[in-house]
Amino acid sequence: MAESNTDRMADEKGDQRQPRASLTEESTKWKRLFEKHRYQSKMNKIDYEEKIRVLKEQLKECEEFGDAEYDLTQMSKKIFNSVTIAEFNRLRKLIANDQIDLILSGRKNILALQKMASALTYGVIPITNPQRVALSKREKDLVKKIENATVEETKRHLRKNVSVFKRLFTTVEDSLKLVTKTFLKYGIA
């Protein structure tokens, strides 16, 4: 009986099998899938938290103003104080002519950019699905930074991210063209 225990121990020590290659590959595949799921969950959580924050702000305003004065909520203010077509066209021409310094030197231009960022956040300026998919994380972050920043902070963010800003503005312009084209063709936006 002692002999069989010794044999068993020798087998356990000497039998150091390597895992089959298919198990290792499958394990790696599951790890990748898990990491992808964890990343997507993290991104969803960030997105949901932002939506919850906006809804809480709107609910707070509703409670503060009551139902009778709910007309002038933050959303209404964003609509009324949105960037005008003239401001948008002025910015578009400056960007097309690569005159970023002129944008950064004028307080009116910076304020117009901040209004545009705010309007993008609240959906006053529509971003269609093809353009929304094309927006990078850096572009979305830039919009969030510009929206509530001071004029000087906005200038600093734009100087650091000129190429991101240009891509963002092109995306917004393409989205507005698509919405206008759809409206003119079908009468709906």
Structure confidence by residue, pLDDT tens digits, 8-48: 554 555 555 565 667 788 888 888 988 988 888 888 788 77
Least confident of 87-91, 119-123, 170-174: 119-123
pTM attached to this predicted model:
0.53
Above 50 in pLDDT, residue 1?
Answer: no
Above 70 in pLDDT, residue 120?
Answer: yes
pLDDT of residue 160: 92
What tokens does 46 get? 């960030």
- Find tokens 């002038």 and name the residue: 72
Above 60 in pLDDT, residue 69?
Answer: no
Q: Are 109 and 94 in contact (CB under 8 A)?
A: yes
DSSP 102-129: HHHH-HHHHHHHHHHHHHHHHTSS---H
Least confident of 61-65, 78-82, 129-133, 177-181: 78-82
Least confident of 61-65, 78-82, 106-110: 78-82
Residue 16 CA to its chain's centroid (Å) = 50
pLDDT of residue 68: 47
Above 60 in pLDDT, residue 79?
Answer: no
pLDDT higher for 87 or 2? 87
- Distance in angstroms (rounded) separating the CA atoms of residues 53 and 124: 18
